[in-house]
Every structure is written in C-alpha cells, then in structure tokens.
Amino acid sequence: MQPFTRRVIEIIQSIPPGKVMTYGQIAAEAGSPRGARQVVRILHSQSRAHNLPWHRVVNSQGAIALQEDEHRFLQITSLREEGVEVSEDGCVELEEYRYLSEPKL
C-alpha cells in the first residue's frame, strides 16, 4: 500500500462520530493538497476492506457528493444519526461540524 493511501485511511478512521472532513482536507493532511480525487478513489475502493466511516466525508462546500439516491440517503441518514444536521439539499455546516485533527509534531 502506498504511503499516501495508508495515511488517507488513517485520517478517515480518525474522524469521530458527529464530525465530517472534506476530500480536500483529507488529501492535504495526507500530504497531497491537490489529491482530493485520489481520496474519492480510496474511499470507493477501500471503505469496505478497512471499515471506513465513508459517510463522514463531504465535498468542499459541505455537500453530500453522492448522486445515486440510495447511497445519498444512506449518507444523510448516517450523519443525522450521529447528530450532524444535514439540510434537505444534503449540506452540512462546515463551521460547526468540520473535524480539525491535531497537528502532527
């Protein structure tokens, strides 16, 4: 496994219930500020194998990026069950729910 992939998985696993991170935020923390699409790929291919809390990842505007109705509904439901307010159009208030991990020293 590539170091970037390993780090993305670790970061996603660290997102606590009731919080979200953006694809770009995860990519930057993993060492590739322009790697948001790689984060999407990792989530798609590794979520099941690593039991990732994929539902805690949103786009840079705080919106649910999934278009397929069933998965979109599942993400919204999962976030709401954790106490995250999700608007009817699938948006999360990042100022309130964004997870800011502790900086590595």
Helix (H, G, I), strand (E, B) or coil at 77: helix
Report the candidate in 101, 90, 102 with the shortest Cα–Cα distance to residue 59: 90
What is the CATH number that goes with domain 3-97? 1.10.10.10
What's the chain's length in residues?
A: 105
- pLDDT digit string, tens, across residues 42-67: 999 999 999 999 999 999 999 999 88
Q: Alpha-carbon distance 11 to 59, whole Å? A: 16
Residue 101 scores a pLDDT above 90: no
Q: What does the domain layout of the chain look like in residue ranges?
A: 3-97
pLDDT at 67: 84
